[in-house]
Amino acid sequence: MNNNTAQAMEAVVRRYIAALNAGDLEAIVALYAEDGTVEDPVGSPVHRGLAAIRAFYAQSLALKLDVTLEGPIRAAANEAAFAFCVRLHWQGRNTAIRPIDVFRFDESGKIQSMRAIFGPNNMSAE
């Protein structure tokens, strides 16, 4: 059975966005493979394995996030990419970060790797 159809990958992305909005750490971690990786942002140290991924998202979810997709999810082969906006109150001001995340999936449909592509030009005060 192929768990990496475009529809299956899009459903995982939508569950990810919903879990971020709900602050649901366990729902986020459940989307990842045991040996999954998170590189957020690209160029920063990679978080490898579920314990490291859980610690990374626990820190992220310490702030209330308002996450919305910006445009369609792109899915092909075993990867999906999506642009979105994360609004949060950070360093004393309302901030928007607009990354593009790329998920690579394993055979079972779990996220094998997540890479968040953004830089200072993708962050703004709101």
Q: What tens digit of pLDDT does each residue of 71-86 get?
A: 999 999 999 999 999 9
pLDDT at 60: 93
Residue 26 included in any domain: yes
Averaged pLDDT score across all residues of the chain: 95
Is residue 57 flagged as an active site residue? no
Is residue 40 flagged as an active site residue? yes
Would the pLDDT of 36 be above 90? yes
Threshold 0.85, pTM exceeds? yes
Residue 87 included in any domain: yes
Domain enclosing residue 75, as ranges: 6-125
Residue 40 included in any domain: yes
pLDDT at 2: 59
pLDDT at 90: 80
Residue 48 included in any domain: yes
Residue 1 included in any domain: no
Cβ neighbours for 10, distance < 8 A, ≥ 6 positions apart:
73, 75, 80
Catalytic residue among 32, 40, 57, 101: 40
Residue 66 included in any domain: yes
pLDDT at 1: 37
- What's the domain count of the chain? 1
- Residue 98: band (very low, low, confident or very high) from pLDDT cuts 50, 70, 90: very high
Residue 61 included in any domain: yes
Would the pLDDT of 3 be above 80? no
CATH of the domain at 30: 3.10.450.50
